[in-house]
Amino acid sequence: MKSKKLSEQIIKTFKSNGFVLSEPDVLLDSEYIIQRSGENFRKSMLTFENEDGKIMCLRPDLTVASCIKFLEKKSKSKIYYSGQAYRRSDIKGSDLINDQLGIEILGSKNQLQDDFKIIKTILNSAEKIKSKKIQIKVSDIGLFKKLINSLDMPERWKLRLIRHFWRPTYFEELLDRLDKNSDIDSDTFDTDKKRFYEMKKMEQNKIIAGRSISEILKRFDKKIKDPRSFSEGKQIAKIIRSFLKINCKLTLLDEKLLDFVKKNNLKKNIFKEFKSIKNLKKLNQEVYFITNFGRNIEYYTGLVFEVFAGKKEIARGGRYDDLLKSLGAKKNIPAVGAAINLNNI
């Protein structure tokens, strides 16, 4: 672990804010992770076959490992951890082993309070890094979902855009298709129908890529019943691209969103519920809001943020209200957390 003294100071900050130590398992069942958290984890995982023939992996993510431990009733709900995450990256020069200190609130009962608590605790920890200017970038995945659901377009397109928001390259391809009013071809549509009827015969509680068969069937049902004609794609794509260009100091966000809503003739109140973001105005540090941000981890559902010391990203986190259910909980368990990457300090 890098800088033992600094780590001890940060852990002291975690403890003083009521977080209790949890020690997530290093070895995890790789198929369990992939089935419940999505295929994006597969390419980053370091896997091996154990003596029983099961494919195991070194934990690629301490948040997921912490959630699993919590669901096994082996940890408290307000935890901190100190350990290593092991994952490959497409980014040249990235570390294979990441030393991390993190905090999580699992079973978050007060979103406004807990989101602020996580960020404030991370910022208090970041102050231990001397002589570096601290800046914060924030966004909220919920804002994007709210916008998409408010737009007048077929349900299949709403599902598609929300589902692939975290894949920027493919998402841009979808916007290009929208721009040209180009929907899926008839062969793809027929394939969807065939898969729909095949899956109706399967065990409905079986999990595939984080969703039960019954959940997948509901999405398929909406797709195959949705009308095929859609001619407003060009305008819709323009609105979405305009939204993803919003980049401003948090103090100017209300003004920017109001201007965006007026220019695109949208409902005035579509963004009124997002109090966690506005609550961050109480912070003393510079906070920048960027709509086209927080798209690198699929399980985030709300507030996302990164903390920078100078030009280096030293911490990131966010809200992930659906993750625990995808990992086996019977219902959604609201949660929020963040991790400090000691490799960048």
Residue 245 confidence (pLDDT) above 90: yes
Is a pLDDT exceeding 90 seen at residue 337?
yes
Give the pLDDT score at 291. 93
- Give residue-wise pLDDT tens across range 188-220: 556 666 777 777 788 887 777 667 788 877 776
pLDDT tens digit sequence for 42-97 = 778 899 999 889 999 999 889 999 999 999 988 889 999 999 999 887 777 678 88
Question: Parallel, antiparallel, or unpaired: how do β-strands 134-140 and 286-290 relate?
Answer: parallel
- Which among 224, 243, 262 is the end of a domain? 243
Residue 92 domain-assigned? yes
d(CA 142, CA 278): 14
Among the three residues 243, 271, 295, which one is the final residue of a domain in this structure?
243
Indicate whether 112 and 8 sit together in one domain: yes
In a domain, 109, yes or no: yes
DSSP H helices, 111-252, are: 111-126, 141-150, 155-163, 168-179, 186-199, 213-225, 233-243
DSSP state of 322: T
The neighbouring-strand residues paired with 212 are 207
Domain boundary among 243, 278, 299: 243
In a domain, 161, yes or no: yes
Task: Assess whether 166 and 204 both reside in one domain.
Answer: yes
> Residue 279: inside a domain, yes or no?
no
- pLDDT tens-digit readout, 25-51: 999 988 877 766 666 667 788 999 998
* Percentage of residues in the chain having pLDDT higher than 90: 46
Indicate whether 168 and 239 sit together in one domain. Answer: yes
Count of structural domains within the chain: 2
Residue-range definition of the domain harbouring residue 232: 152-243
Is the confidence at residue 232, as pLDDT, over 60? yes
The answer to whether residues 100 and 14 belong to one domain is yes
Is residue 69 one of the residues assigned to a domain? yes
Greatest mean pLDDT range, 64-78, 122-136, 168-182 = 64-78
> Do residues 60 and 97 share a domain?
yes
- 326 belongs to a structural domain: no
Same domain for 80 and 185, yes or no, is: no
pLDDT at residue 289, as a whole number: 95
Cα torsion angle, 281, 285, 290, 293, sign: negative
Specify whether 12 is located in the same domain as 101.
yes
Closest by CA to 161, choosing from 107, 241, 104, is 241
158-174, pLDDT tens digit by residue?
Answer: 998 998 898 888 899 99
In this structure, the answer to whether residues 96 and 203 fall within a common structural domain is: no
Regarding whether 105 and 156 lie in a shared domain, the answer is no
The mean pLDDT of 165-186, rounded to a whole number, is 80
Q: Which of 51-55, 129-133, 303-307 has the lowest mean pLDDT?
A: 129-133
The DSSP code sequence of 243-295 is HTT-EEEGGGHHHHHHHHHHHTT--TTTTTT-HHHHHGGG-SSEEEEESS---
Is the pLDDT score of 185 beyond 60?
A: no
- Highest mean pLDDT out of 122-136, 208-222, 224-238, 315-329: 315-329
DSSP, res 343: G
Q: Which residue has the higher pLDDT, 223 or 288?
A: 288
Calpha distance 128→13 (Å, rounded): 10
Q: Are 107 and 193 members of one domain?
A: no
Residue at 187 is within a domain: yes
- Are 125 and 314 in contact, with CB atoms under 8 Å apart? no
310: pLDDT strictly greater than 50: yes
Angstrom CA distances, 242 to 239, 259, 303, stand at: 5, 11, 20
Mean pLDDT on 303-324: 91
Band (pLDDT 50/70/90 cuts) for residue 222 is: low
Residue 130 pLDDT exceeds 70: no
Instruction: With a cut of 50, say whether residue 1 has pLDDT above it.
Output: no
State the average pLDDT over residues 293-306.
85
Instruction: Tell me: do 29 and 111 sit in the same domain.
Output: yes
Question: Residue 278: is its pLDDT beyond 60?
Answer: yes
- 11 falls within a domain: yes
User: Residue 107 maps to which CATH number?
Assistant: 3.30.930.10
Same domain, 119 and 58: yes
Indicate the average pLDDT of the chain. Answer: 86
